[in-house]
Amino acid sequence: MKVFAVLGDQRAKASLSPQMHNQALFKAGINGRYVSFCVEPARLGQAVEGLFALGLAGANVTVPHKQKVIPFLQGLSDEAGSLGAVNTIEFTDNGMIGHNTDVPGFVRALEQAGFNPFNRRCLVMGAGGAARAVVAGLRQAKAKEIMVAARQKSRAEALCRDLGGTPLGIADWGRAAKGTDLLVNAASVSTRTESPELAALLSETPDQARPAVIMDLNYGRKGNLWQALARQKNAVFQDGLVMLAEQARLSFEIWTGVLPPTSHFLSALEQ
């Protein structure tokens, strides 16, 4: 039996990854099992080296380990190296190789929403690891303009220095939203309960802001403020489930050589 794993913090225990990967393994006819582990950051090196020593077939890493895992790996794909983050580990005879499927997963999720970023204006909320994948994907797709708004403008500035784009403070959100074709929430909050400040900010989004698509990389949030904004603006809304499914199937291909249809992952998530 092939064994695969995801390493994360406490949230990994409630991750949807095991359900969708186990369904994909079953439908592909692969005798395997995908499990999740909660790993303290101080034990991350021991954890990944232990998985390699035990002969696992592959692994994912989630927040907060995507950047911290790099020193423990023997190599990086071009995507992971340029982004400075890993979400997929391939176990080879020559050691552990880090990959990043978040970037192509995001681009494919945009395709599912019917949006082509080429020559379009895009505004990203957040400056963490998810935002880095979004900005990298938009750059690859040759977006006309990429703006990054963050509560701490210094974090947006650091991201844009690495990957390109225009850094903004949170107070610039309304002005930047005017004429924007795509809004992406890559921050961790999506509801009024999580952030009254976000609710106030989005309530002040100007009438001139008419995005074609609003995407929230979070999922399963009741009272989603981004979804409400999409209804108000008559925009297409997509939550993070499609991106989750797309990046998962690309990880699956790295480990097994098999690329299942997106539906094999999405159906498990929707259940």
Phi, psi of 216 (to 5 degrees): -115, 120
Tell whether 78 is in a known binding site.
yes
pLDDT number for residue 63: 79
With respect to residue 69, please indicate whether it lies within any of the assigned structural domains. yes
* Same domain for 39 and 127: no
Decide if 115 is inside a domain: yes
| CA–CA separation, 34 and 109 (whole Å) | 23
Q: Is residue 77 marked as binding? A: no
CATH number, domain with residue 236 = 3.40.50.720
Yes or no: say if 34 and 25 are a contact pair by the CB < 8 Å rule. yes
pLDDT value of residue 10 = 64
For β-strands 236-238 and 213-216, DSSP reports them as: parallel
**Inside any domain, residue 264:** no
Q: Are residues 71 and 123 in the same domain?
A: no
153 is annotated as an active-site residue: no
Q: What is the pTM of this model?
A: 0.90
Number of domains comprising the chain: 2
Q: Are residue 111 and residue 236 in the same domain, yes or no?
A: yes
- Please check whether residue 66 lies inside any domain of the structure: yes
- 162 and 229 part of one domain: yes
95 and 108 inside one domain: no
Residues 117 and 92 in one domain: no
Looking at the structure, tell me whether residues 160 and 174 fall in a common domain.
yes
Same domain? For 109 and 44 the reply is: no
Whether residues 127 and 231 share a domain: the answer is: yes
The CATH number of whichever domain residue 38 belongs to comes to 3.40.50.10860
Catalytic residue, from 2, 13, 27, 66: name it. 66
Report whether 189 contacts 195 (CB < 8 A): yes
226 shares a domain with 186: yes
Q: By residue range, what is the domain housing residue 173?
A: 104-241
Determine if residue 266 is labeled as part of a ligand binding site. no
Q: Is 214 found in the same domain as 169?
A: yes
> Is 74 known to sit in a ligand binding site?
no
Which residues in the chain come in under a pLDDT of 50?
13-14
Distance CA 194, CA 240 (A): 17
Give the pLDDT score at 150: 94
In the block, which residue shows the tokens 């983050």?
A: 85
pLDDT reported for residue 227: 97
